[in-house]
Every structure is written in structure tokens, then in C-alpha cells.
Amino acid sequence: MSKNETSISSEQMITLVYDELRRLAAIHLADEKAGQTLQPTALVHEAYLRLSGDAESIYWNSKGHFLGAAAIAIRRILVENARRKLSLKRGGDRQRQQLYDDLPVNLPEPLEDIIALDEALTKLAIEHPEVAELVQRLYFSGMTLPDAAEDLSISPRTASRHWAFGKAWLRREMNGNSDSFENS
């Protein structure tokens, strides 16, 4: 993209959205299993490094454009981290053992398995790319429904329908229900 009056450099954009991305990273990492070593600041910095490339030549059309790309980067980092932790080479098949009797034995599992979510989103993107893009922006970039709708140039009503459909489709996919899903 060529630099124009409405575009913003990666360096300028990160200063505008850093706090928002940091808050979002903390929310996503709170859903991870106990023993998570990735910190919100590190997640945001890694995402920025992936987005910036040659910072002098990358420009963004809008905050939404940047947040959409940041959502993809954050998703990929979380998935890579989850896969790395599960690898046998790194002891991914080992179970954490409780050392103290006075602490609960069964710690709660994360709300969502990030790898299963990634696989389901990948399938959704093949079947319904516009829905997957909206879900990704809402879930990984923390955009509001009206902001995501505006950024994707769709009506708020369409965005609401896509969001309801996307959540139901992902829930069905992640629960292992292989029946066909009708958009009705």
C-alpha cells in the first residue's frame, strides 16, 4: 500500500491501540491453563513484531484495519504456543500433579481450547469467510459489533446475524457434532 493522507504507520498505530491490545491479551491469556508462561506484554509485542515488518513501509487504513490484522497475529501466536505446549518433545503428554493437600485437586479447564477454536475457525473461513472474519475480529481483536460491522462494510443487522450464526456454528463444531449445519 502506498502512503497517503489517511494511512497511519505501524509505529503510530501501536501507540494508539497499545493499551487496548494489552487489555485484550490479558483477557485471552486468563483463559489459558494454569502454568501459562506467555505474558500479555510479550503477546502484544510479538503481535506487533509480526505486523510491523519493515515499519517504514507498512501503513494502515484505519484502527479497525490494524486491529483486524492484530487479531490474526494474536490468534496465530496463541495457537503456536498451545501446540508447542502440547508437543511430546516438551512433555505435552504429562499431567500436572497437585503437591499440596489443602489446594483443590481439579483446577478448572480453560473456557475454550485455543487449538480447537483455531481449527473450527479455519473450517468456518472455508465455508463462510465473511462470518469467520467477523468472529475473528470480535473474539481476537476485542472490537465491538458496530465497529466490526463498520470496518467490514456490512450493516449492524447483518453483523448481528453473522455473529449469532458464527457462535452457533463454532459451538457445534467444537462439540464434535458432525451433522450438517443449515443457515436458517
Residue pair 123/108 in contact (Cβ under 8 Å)? The answer is no
In this prediction, residue 104 carries a pLDDT of 37
Distance CA 74, CA 167 (A): 19
In this prediction, residue 56 carries a pLDDT of 55
Ramachandran class of 99: left when φ > 0, alpha when ψ lies in -120 to 50, beta otherwise: alpha
Element (H, E) at 25: helix 10-30
pLDDT digits (tens, 9 = 90+) for 146-163: 999 998 999 999 999 999
End-to-end Cα spacing for the chain:
39
DSSP code, position 26? H
Q: Amino acid letter at 170?
A: L
In this prediction, residue 139 carries a pLDDT of 84
In this prediction, residue 5 carries a pLDDT of 47
DSSP code, position 90? G
- Closest to 28 (Cα-Cα) out of 140, 155, 153: 140
User: Would you give per-residue pLDDT tens digits along the chain (184 residues)?
Assistant: 444 446 777 778 888 888 888 888 888 787 766 666 788 888 888 888 888 775 556 778 888 888 888 888 888 888 888 887 777 555 655 565 444 444 333 333 453 478 888 889 999 999 999 999 999 888 888 788 999 999 899 999 999 999 999 999 998 988 876 444 444 3
Distance CA 176, CA 157 (A): 29
Threshold 0.75, pTM exceeds:
no
3-state secondary structure 103-142: CCCCCCCCCCCHHHHHHHHHHHHHHCHHHHHHHHHHHHCC
Dihedral of CA atoms 53, 57, 60, 61 in degrees, nearest 10, equals: -160
In this prediction, residue 165 carries a pLDDT of 95
Distance CA 180, CA 182 (A): 7
